[in-house]
Chain A
Amino acid sequence: MSNDTKTVLLSGVGGQGAILAADILSRVAMACGQDVKLSEIHGMAQRGGAVTTVVRLGDSVASMVADKGSVDYLVSFEKVEALRNIEFLKDGGALLVNDEFIKPLPVATGAVQAPSGVVESLEQAGAVLVPAEALAKEAGSVKAVNVVLLGALSTKLSYDEATWLSVIESRVPAKFKDVNIAAFKLGRKFVEECSA
């Protein structure tokens, strides 16, 4: 039934564009004939707090939530959030992380120390660190970090590039189309070269 179902967990900080990324991913899966469930959390959690979005893909998807140790692909828009959600990653799952640290408010005010050795912990967990902000800037807008990370994720999934590109084109405003296409390609190329 749903044992072919793959689980993608997108983690980050409210306002980073994870919901649009999840929407594009879901539509790519649908365009490739798959069933999909996309579960997101709204409301108070969005005010700069930690957020997660789950996308489940397969022939017939049942549940819409992720359990600890069940996520095939953890894509984190921020480094500390990657570590916060590491328990969800399946043994042997892929970990793609935007190489960016966003200070949580307790750290910013000095109430709590920033954690040390974040990159070491991520590397130990087998993370691919993606310089998504730099690549997004290169593509033309720092706001395209989400689509850079989709490009990175696309290397782990079997959907063809043309479907990705056509869905991205249909889901972003026309004037940002080129930026997002470039962002996707840069993210994809970065991971391909890492694993080459």
Chain B
Amino acid sequence: MELISGNEAIARGAWEAGATIGVAYPGTPSTETMETFAKQPGVYAEWCPNEKVAVEVGLGACAAGRRVLSSMKHVGVNVAADPLFTAAYTGVNGGFVILAADDPGMHSSQNEQDSRFYARAAHIPMFDPADSSEALAFTKNAFEVSERFDMPCMIRSTVRVSHTKCPVELGERVEVEPKPYAKDAEKWVMMPAYAKPRRVSLDARVAAVTEYAETCEFNRIERNEGAIGVICCGATYQHVREALPQADILKLGMSWPLPPKKICEFAASVENVYVIEEGSDYLSEGVRALGVQLSEPEGTLCPDGELTPGAIAVAFGAQAPEHAEMRDDLPGRPPALCPGCPHRLVFRELSRMKAIVTGDIGCYTLGALAPLSAMDTCVDMGASISMSHGFELGLQGREHKPVVAVIGDSTFAHSGITSLLNTVYNRGAGIVCILDNRTTAMTGHQGNPVNGITLQHRESRELDLPGLVRALGVEDVAVVNPMDLKATRAALKAAAQNADELSVIIFCSPCVLLSKTHEAALVVSSDCRACGACTLIGCPAISRDEDGKAHIDANLCVGCEQCSQTCAFGCIGKAE
């Protein structure tokens, strides 16, 4: 038995099923899936600039006859939705399996989304494992189902499946010969004349896979006392098993299509039937649509966040266990930009300018938190640049502070380029800061098209970022070292003075975590005047003692000298 996470198990399942190609964009909680797959022997795997591109590359490889794995977080499915919906029409040649990793509780995401709705809307069979063993088995099986029914398949996990490790029995890899490719325009060219018959074909394939769901061993009934019947899937099943040990359970390993006969028979076999699910009413809607009368527990189950066994037990009438109360005066401990993070001074300056900052997705979203507090919006990948253009339009004719978009290098490659093109095309103004820290830091330092590091370390090339921005039509392009406070301030000031033009500043300095060695910690001299200026950059290594003087924690400080540049009295420096 191996102790592996759900993500590792999905990668392993794909490998055992003979998949040879993997395509993904990283995103918590999905990232380790493709990282693990890429390390298997005999596979090719790549990071793509975004999930839409990944699914399209995957669809091409599957059309050419290979078994392909793609993985993404829930919001990545939004980006990939365009090819996904039509991939259900074309179907596959080699099996094509896509992981959608949901994040109920928003541990590292901007929203909660239930990807099961995508499966239903796009007509893509979806498997919903409850632990690592199932993740492996379901993924392996999904390739068979994909080829048998000529449909891409999805695996849906949640953070508690993706990031929970448990013992798993590994299997052997099956070597699968690539299927021959033969031109078939009626299957692959989705213009109306061919898409209309494919729509009819899709309905037939859905009917066939629904029949399959009725007998699929992953949709199983656990018999018990017969009073309480629960229909559930995914990690929720594990909570139900613990909270309601007396319950009969219909454990759905496929969350789309639902097996109507099996559900109705189960409902008829128990006194009261409940659906327990987190995040949405996807499953209860589907069960009710079959004419099943669902019972409701006495207590409520919150629709937001994650379910727990305790929450379910209490909803079904159990007493919550006694416990000590938390003190109400504990300081919060929000995450923060790391000591030495190259983003820090940019946000400090944006805060000083009182700029309207449209932010984006990545570590630098932490620039929104105190004491930097330098972000007005954060919505989705690439939105910083498009929303800043919108702010400029919306504020036109009114006096306003500079509007500044802030976006990371990987996010820019993901979805920022088209947004910038739009601003150029429509003669928009404002400032766009590309925080190029040479990596996709938030998800654990993956390569991306900007740094030119590929997933399996094949040779590639760095992007000429200023060259690309100029080619898009931006005339005012500057490349600035964000570790240099004066240069950062001067660049932002110059761009702000050039208010009627679009300015792009590329702040280029590598993520501090990419370096294994650091400069010696800095020290504060006894001349410190307790002004507090250095603490406004929000460095975790700097604190103030009882009389307000600065103190630097030598264990945390990496000697980056950002703080020393903020000290007007020259009180911070290297130890003598």
Q: What residues of chain A have their CB less than 8 Å away from a CB belonging to chain B?
A: 1-3, 5, 13-14, 23, 26-27, 30, 35-50, 61-70, 80-81, 83-84, 86-91, 103-115, 121, 125, 142
**Known interface pairs A89-B324, A91-B322. Does A48 touch B331 (Cβ–Cβ under 8 Å)?**
no
Residue of A67, A68, A142 ringed by the most chain B CB atoms within 10 A: A67
CB pair A110–B535 under 8 Å, yes or no, is: yes
CB pair A65–B308 under 8 Å, yes or no, is: yes
**Known interface pairs A14-B335, A26-B165, A105-B540. Does A111 touch B326 (Cβ–Cβ under 8 Å)?**
no
CB pair B107–A36 under 8 Å, yes or no, is: no
CB pair A69–B320 under 8 Å, yes or no, is: yes
* A114 vs B332: C-alpha distance when bound (angstroms): 10
* A38 vs B165: C-alpha distance when bound (angstroms): 5
Q: Which residues of B contact A47 (CB under 8 A)?
A: 335-338, 363, 366
CB pair A63–B238 under 8 Å, yes or no, is: yes
Contact of A44 among B1, B108, B245, B310 (CB under 8 A): B108
CB pair B320–A68 under 8 Å, yes or no, is: yes
Q: Which residues of A contact B29 (CB under 8 A)?
A: 42-43
Contact of B308 among A37, A67, A81, A113 (CB under 8 A): A67
Q: Would you give the shortest CB distance from A8 to chain B, in whole angstroms?
A: 14
Q: Would you give the shortest CB distance from B546 to chain A, in whole angstroms?
A: 10
Q: Which residues of B contact A91 (CB under 8 A)?
A: 321-323
* A87 vs B324: C-alpha distance when bound (angstroms): 5
List CB contacts (< 8 Å) of B1-60 with chain A: 1, 3, 28-29, 31
> On chain B, which size bracket covers the interface?
35 or more
The stretch that binds A, out of B156-164, B397-405, B567-575, is B156-164
Contact of A43 among B166, B321, B334, B443 (CB under 8 A): B443
Q: What residues of chain B have their CB less than 8 Å away from a CB belonging to chain A?
A: 1, 3, 28-29, 31, 107-108, 131, 159-160, 163-167, 235, 238-239, 241-242, 245, 306, 308-311, 320-327, 329-338, 363, 365-366, 370-371, 442-444, 532, 535-536, 538, 540, 542-544, 548, 555
CB pair A108–B535 under 8 Å, yes or no, is: yes
Q: Which residues of A contact B309 (CB under 8 A)?
A: 62-63, 65, 67
Q: Which residues of A contact B1 (CB under 8 A)?
A: 30
Q: Which residues of B contact A113 (CB under 8 A)?
A: 331
CB pair B329–A115 under 8 Å, yes or no, is: yes
CB pair A84–B336 under 8 Å, yes or no, is: no
CB pair A62–B238 under 8 Å, yes or no, is: yes
**Known interface pairs A30-B3, A44-B108. Does A104 touch B331 (Cβ–Cβ under 8 Å)?**
yes
Q: Which residues of B contact A70 (CB under 8 A)?
A: 310, 321
**Beyond A38-B3, A89-B323, A109-B532, 15 additional pairs, beta carbon < 8 A:** A35-B167, A36-B165, A40-B163, A42-B107, A42-B444, A43-B442, A44-B107, A46-B335, A48-B540, A61-B166, A110-B544, A110-B548, A115-B329, A115-B330, A142-B555
Q: Would you give the shortest CB distance from B386 to chain A, in whole angstroms?
A: 23
* A69 vs B326: C-alpha distance when bound (angstroms): 12
Contact of B311 among A37, A41, A61, A67 (CB under 8 A): A67
Q: Which residues of B contact A142 (CB under 8 A)?
A: 555
Q: Which residues of A contact B108 (CB under 8 A)?
A: 41-45
CB pair A90–B164 under 8 Å, yes or no, is: no
CB pair A39–B163 under 8 Å, yes or no, is: yes
12 A-B pairs in the complex with CB atoms less than 8 angstroms apart: A42-B444, A43-B107, A50-B333, A63-B241, A68-B310, A86-B326, A103-B543, A105-B538, A108-B544, A109-B371, A112-B331, A125-B324
Q: Would you give the shortest CB distance from A105 to chain B, in whole angstroms?
A: 5
CB pair B327–A104 under 8 Å, yes or no, is: no
CB pair A48–B335 under 8 Å, yes or no, is: yes
Q: Which residues of B contact A108 (CB under 8 A)?
A: 535, 540, 542-544
Q: Which residues of B contact A13 (CB under 8 A)?
A: 333
* A61 vs B327: C-alpha distance when bound (angstroms): 31
CB pair B245–A1 under 8 Å, yes or no, is: yes
Residue of B3, B320, B548 ringed by the most chain A CB atoms within 10 A: B3
Nearest first, the 9 A-B pairs at minimum CB distance are A43-B108, A67-B310, A69-B321, A49-B335, A69-B323, A108-B543, A43-B28, A47-B335, A104-B333
* A167 vs B409: C-alpha distance when bound (angstroms): 40
B323 to chain A: closest residue by CB:
A69
CB pair A110–B131 under 8 Å, yes or no, is: no
Q: Would you give the shortest CB distance from B225 to chain A, in whole angstroms?
A: 14
* A27 vs B443: C-alpha distance when bound (angstroms): 26
B338 to chain A: closest residue by CB:
A47
**Known interface pairs A42-B28, A108-B535. Does A121 touch B331 (Cβ–Cβ under 8 Å)?**
no
CB pair A35–B166 under 8 Å, yes or no, is: yes
* A26 vs B241: C-alpha distance when bound (angstroms): 21
CB pair A63–B239 under 8 Å, yes or no, is: yes
* A89 vs B542: C-alpha distance when bound (angstroms): 33
Q: Which residues of B contact A68 (CB under 8 A)?
A: 310, 320-321, 323
A91 to chain B: closest residue by CB:
B322
**Known interface pairs A63-B239, A91-B322. Does A37 touch B371 (Cβ–Cβ under 8 Å)?**
no
* A26 vs B336: C-alpha distance when bound (angstroms): 30
CB pair B336–A49 under 8 Å, yes or no, is: yes
Q: Which residues of B contact A49 (CB under 8 A)?
A: 333-336
* A35 vs B169: C-alpha distance when bound (angstroms): 13
* A64 vs B167: C-alpha distance when bound (angstroms): 13
CB pair A36–B166 under 8 Å, yes or no, is: yes
Q: Which residues of A contact B536 (CB under 8 A)?
A: 109
* A117 vs B323: C-alpha distance when bound (angstroms): 20
* A112 vs B334: C-alpha distance when bound (angstroms): 13
CB pair B165–A1 under 8 Å, yes or no, is: no
Q: Which residues of B contact A37 (CB under 8 A)?
A: 131, 164-166
* A104 vs B29: C-alpha distance when bound (angstroms): 26
Q: Which residues of A contact B327 (CB under 8 A)?
A: 83, 115, 121
